[in-house]
Amino acid sequence: MADPLDSDIRPGEITTALPQAHDAGVYFIGHIRTPWTSRRDCPRRGAEDGPECRIELDPRWARVLTGIEAHPRIQVLYWMHLSRRDLVLQAPGHGSTLIGTFALRSPVRPNPIASSVVRLERVEGTTLIVRGLDCVDGTPVVDIKPERTVHAAET
């Protein structure tokens, strides 16, 4: 269900017909718990001194986290499930200038995948406690990676 904040179109904004079929599928590996229950409450940008948020992964991924504690900062890819996907030109900041979706970090985009680098505070089972997120409570997660490559020859 789209939040009204996301589904509104501002004057001049342009939509497009999306492709008829998806090209690939993603699994939601878990969900993010934050203090913000609607998009209107979310901070504009996550801060590393912001509140703790919880990335609760499905227990099936328990072993997939092995070694994550070694990384003080991790990259989180999540799916902005409340955002419409069909906006071509947007009017950020309620200004009159129209800017293309790919020239913005707006959540409204054809593939609503967000990327945030956050501080990993601790791991509790299959839950990661982090600081630095800014998304709405209940947002699905699609990937967790260390911020940087560490191993000499990964894969």
Q: Tell which one of 102, 124, 125, 138 touches its own copies (CB under 8 A).
A: 102
1 binds its own copies, rule: CB under 8 A: no
Binding test (CB under 8 A) with its own copies, winner from 82, 107, 118, 132: 107
**Interface with its own copies (CB under 8 A), residue from 4, 7, 12, 16:** 16
Backbone CA torsion sign across 8, 26, 48, 103: negative
- Can you tell me which of 72, 92, 125, 138 binds its own copies, judged by CB under 8 A? 92
We find the least distance from the C-beta atom of residue 123 to its own copies, in angstroms, to be 11
| C-alpha distance across the termini of the chain, in Å | 39
89 binds its own copies (CB under 8 A): yes
| Residues 44-73 as x/- pattern, contact with its own copies by CB under 8 A | xx--------------xx-xxxxxx-xx--
Residue 125: which of 67, 30, 56, 32 has the closest Cα? 56
6 contact partners, CB below 8 Å, separation of at least 6: 39, 82, 83, 84, 107, 108
What is the rounded distance in angstroms from the CA atom of residue 125 to the CA atom of residue 86? 38
Radius of gyration of the chain (CA): 17
Among candidates 53, 77, 36, which has minimal Cα distance to 130?
A: 53
User: How many residues touch its own copies (CB under 8 A)?
Assistant: 66
Q: Which residues bind its own copies (CB under 8 A)?
A: 6, 14, 16, 18-19, 21-29, 44-45, 60-61, 63-68, 70-71, 75, 77, 79, 81, 88-90, 92-95, 98-111, 113, 115, 140, 142-146, 148-149, 151-155
